Amino acid sequence: MADAPEYDIRHIEHPNPVPSATREQAIADPGFGKLFTDHMVRIDWHEDKGWHDARLMARGPIELDPSASVLHYAQEIFEGLKAYRHADGSLALFRPEENARRFNRSAARLAMPDLPEEAFLGAIRALVLKDRDWFPSVEGGSLYIRPFMIATEAFLGVRPAKEYAFMVILSPAGGYFKSGAPAISIRLGEHYTRAAPGGTGFAKCGGNYAASLVPQGEALASGHDQVVFLDAVERRWVEELGGMNLFFVFEDGRMVTPPLGDTILAGITRDSILTLAREEGLDVVEERYAIDQWRADAESGKLVETLACGTAAVVTPVGKVTAEDYSFEIGSGGPGQLTQKLRERLVGIQTGTVEDRHGWITKLG
């Protein structure tokens, strides 16, 4: 940041931070996504000025003109990552530069300006250090980091806006699962697709998630945890869950995950699992996998595990899949051995109990 003075962050004093006793009580049971820390970072972009006016200030409502493009044409992108606490009390990020890169791939697809990686990372570093007292006191807790960018220009024409705001907020989060991950049950989203070729599936834009709410809601209403989407062209190839990537593990030591393209989000957990599974000696391939094959392999016992992965729940076993006319169980229907092992390795690296041999950890101090 020293050689990029335009991203120097101005600290504006918070007039009224949450009293420490209230904060301590809140972080003892933070849940997910409903508790927020005292501060936020904001950097503005203007067509003539570029990125400017980086500031760290009190978190609070933002003022937006009712005609702002984000409210009408959904020019919005976001990221999600976590800060972890290591045994020495330091805070650490897991592969945050990958989030910065994915943010810019999303920005390019949504016709939004590129944000220099050092601005993205500098904003996160400053905010996490400022609000480090908000780190949850519960076992397995983390500080969930939500960087996002919105189009703020007041203009109703359908074209890329000329003004944007990049912001970062933090949400203390409890452990997703208390002891290991229970197997989840998923519903095949037969009547919906998530992403079409040429569309925005690979981008982390709000619109993708708005479109997933009905299928996800139907999955929940029928007693399932998540919806799984098939490809939009043949309605045959398994793509991903509403917010997690998938891996299929076979009895012969093969592991398959759907290949990246423009319809699947390039999960950072997915990429890390590819590396860790190969280190475990598995033969991991990125290859299309059909829903009928998934069912046949589960029924024949060739498929021994299916795991879903993402920042929020890390690695979660899939125990059961239900479609309109059939359902099938995977393995014993509970967590498989490889799923457990990969989860422990990954959580260990993130929390500092397993050696970081890949340079995935950024210590914040």
What is the contact surface with ligand PLP in residues (CB under 6 A)? 80, 240, 243-245, 265, 267-270, 310-311
Phi, psi of 49 (to 5 degrees): -105, -15
Q: How far is the CB of 270 from ligand PLP (least distance, A)?
A: 6
Least separation in angstroms between residue 81's CB and ligand PLP is 7
Report the C-alpha gap between 228 and 238 in whole angstroms: 8
Q: Which residue, among 17, 51, 24, has the nearest Cα to 136 in the 3D structure?
A: 24
> Nearer Cβ to ligand PLP, position 270 or 345?
270
b/e map of 221-240 (b: 16 or more CB within 10 Å)? eeebbbbbbbbbeeeebbbb
Gyration radius of the chain over CA positions? 21
Task: Tell me the closest approach of the beta carbon of residue 330 to ligand PLP, in angstroms.
Answer: 19
Min dist. Cβ of residue 256 to ligand PLP (A): 16
Nearer CB in complex with ligand PLP: 37/269: 269
Nearer to ligand PLP by Cβ, of 193 and 269: the residue is 269
Report the residue number, 51 or 202, with the smaller CB distance to ligand PLP: 202
Report yes or no: 318 and 257 within 8 Å, Cβ to Cβ.
no
For ligand PLP, give the closer residue by CB, 147 or 267: 267
State how far the Cα of 64 lies from the Cα of 61, in Å rounded to an integer: 9
Q: Using CA atoms, how far apart are residues 56 and 188, in angstroms rounded to an integer?
A: 43
Q: Take residue 1 and report the two structure tokens written for it.
A: 């940041």
Q: Shortest gap between Cβ of 21 and ligand PLP (angstroms)? A: 34
Shortest Cβ distance from residue 116 to ligand PLP (Å)? 20
Nearer to ligand PLP, 41 or 313 (CB): 313
